[in-house]
Amino acid sequence: MNVLSLERKDVPNAIKKGGITICVVGGGYVGLPFAALYADLGAKVFVCNRDQKKVDTTNAGKTYIYEIGLDELVRSAVSKGNLTATTDVKDAVSKSDIIFITVGTPVTQEGFLEDSQIKDAAKTIGSAMKKGSLVVLRSTVNPGTTENILLPILENNSGMKLGDFGLADAPERLQEGKALEGLKTEATVIGGYKFHSKSAEITAGVFDMLNVPVSIVSYPITSEFSKFVWNYLLDSAISDAQIIAQLCEKLGVDFMEVRATANTDPRIRMMVAGPGSGGSCFPKDVAAMLALAKKAGIEGNSLKSLELVRVINGPVMAEHVVSLVESALKEKNVRLKDAEIGVLGIAFKGETDDTRESPAIKVINILKEKCKSVSAYDPFVKNAGGFAVERSWPDAIKNKDCCVILTDHKEFFKISPEEIKLNLRTNCLVDSRHIINPDVARKLFVYRGVGRGTR
């Protein structure tokens, strides 16, 4: 189908009836949920992955990443015959009408986002796509990538020009663990071209079927840069909360109560403090924004907020959590170097198995250097590398001197403080995720919490 011949209003119905075939190049945390959702809605979808084992897993109706609801969705889409995984990108593209690029863009040593996977995907797509196809970039990229890198490669390898095919940028803005929910609720920003409005209009039609707000901006560079801005503002809000939390501890007041009062003002969105922030987005996107600012010639004090955000949400909060552990142990006359620590949580946030740039791992690594031993448990992470992952939370904290909660998994909210105490040798508890009620904790433990005062 020549999707560029459609009107925006016709796209959702064409997808539901299976008239549009979609190819998703990149089957990770962004690509697989996206592919499974549209396949379940009626589209014929190919999801491309380099890893044959992951391809086989998907085609068996199973998943290799954790996302709420994804197992059921993949199973349903595969059983309907709508979702097919493959390593053959060229074949999938040749059979598709709309191609989404969701490959990885890791950060380089200079701080920019690495674009080799984008280039490889573009070459293959360009050599196989049909006239009238639409290519949509969903990966987070350096501003200018769609126009200056993706478009020339597509044109050179296809022998076509923009207009013969469509091209747009629609950066994902999903929360891992809640990707499917986010696809159905999060606003989508689309960067198209003023002189070729069909690219953005048809892309908008794809997202219209999810009933989410859609905004079209004039050029892809605007939507590309917007992704950096979104993540910087969120990461900055978290670092602000971290500073306020530390002040709360010194003043003896409760951060969560202060946060609740702040959020009564509709102009304020105060985030939750914790052991830091991580994942695949915040660290690399803020680093890329800083590199972009330096390249643009911005110097001095103007860069400080960009630099400090990652310092606070990285090493500063990791060290702070360790200082809380040391403080609690000291009250029980246990030296940090002699202590055995049990950790709950390894993933960078709750309800995901992703450990990339995890603040929990940063804390664990510091504790490993300073303590006698560290054991850890995470319901979703089975192999973290560098330390043993226990089979259950009691195994992780049994006969330990301190329990340290580092990830806000739902499972941990169900654990009673009394159960934790029964398993510990020394009743010290450090809660960096506001999971245990502090009033209860203070009666049972020598207790420390991020942002929790002493009363």
Backbone angles phi, psi at 259, to 5 degrees: -60, -45
Q: Which residues, in sequence order, are bridge partners of residue 46? A: 23, 84
Q: For residues 354 and 347, give the distance between their C-alpha atoms in angstroms, rounded to a whole number.
A: 5
Nearest to 400 by CA among 378, 433, 367: 367
Q: Are the C-beta atoms of residues 52 and 61 closer than 8 Å to each other?
A: no
pLDDT, tens digit, 9 for 90 and up, residues 301-327: 888 988 999 999 999 999 999 999 999
Which stretches of the chain drop beneath a pLDDT of 70?
Answer: none
Displacement of CA 442 from its chain's centroid (Å): 34
Q: Which residues, in sequence order, are bridge partners of residue 196? A: 193
SS3 378: coil
Per-residue model confidence (pLDDT) at position 384: 83
Measure the CA dihedral 113/114/116/122, to 10°: 0
Per-residue model confidence (pLDDT) at position 89: 98
Per-residue model confidence (pLDDT) at position 1: 86
**Best CATH choice for the domain 3-218 from the list 2.60.40.10, 1.20.1050.10, 3.40.50.720, 3.40.50.10950:** 3.40.50.720
**Best CATH choice for the domain 231-449 from the list 3.20.10.10, 2.60.120.10, 3.40.50.720, 3.40.50.1370:** 3.40.50.720
Q: What is the DSSP string of 104-151?
A: --PBPTTSSBP-HHHHHHHHHHHHHPPTT-EEEE-S---TTHIIIIIH
CA 104, 107, 113, 116 torsion-angle sign = negative
Do you know the residue count of the chain? 455
Backbone angles phi, psi at 325, to 5 degrees: -60, -45
Q: For residues 381 and 398, give the distance between their C-alpha atoms in angstroms, rounded to a whole number.
A: 19
Per-residue model confidence (pLDDT) at position 387: 78
Q: List b or e across 159-189, with b for residues whose CB sees 16 or more CB atoms inside 10 angstroms.
A: ebebeebbbbbbbbbbebbbbbebbeebebb
Say if residue 299 is exposed, middle or buried (CB neighbours under 10 Å; 0-12, 13-18, 19+). exposed
Q: Decide whether 3-218 matches 231-449 in CATH topology.
A: yes
What residue spans define the domains of the chain? Answer: 3-218, 231-449
The reply to whether the predicted model has a pTM over 0.85 is: yes
Give the largest CA-CA distance in the chain.
75
Q: Are the C-beta atoms of residues 346 and 375 closer than 8 Å to each other?
A: no
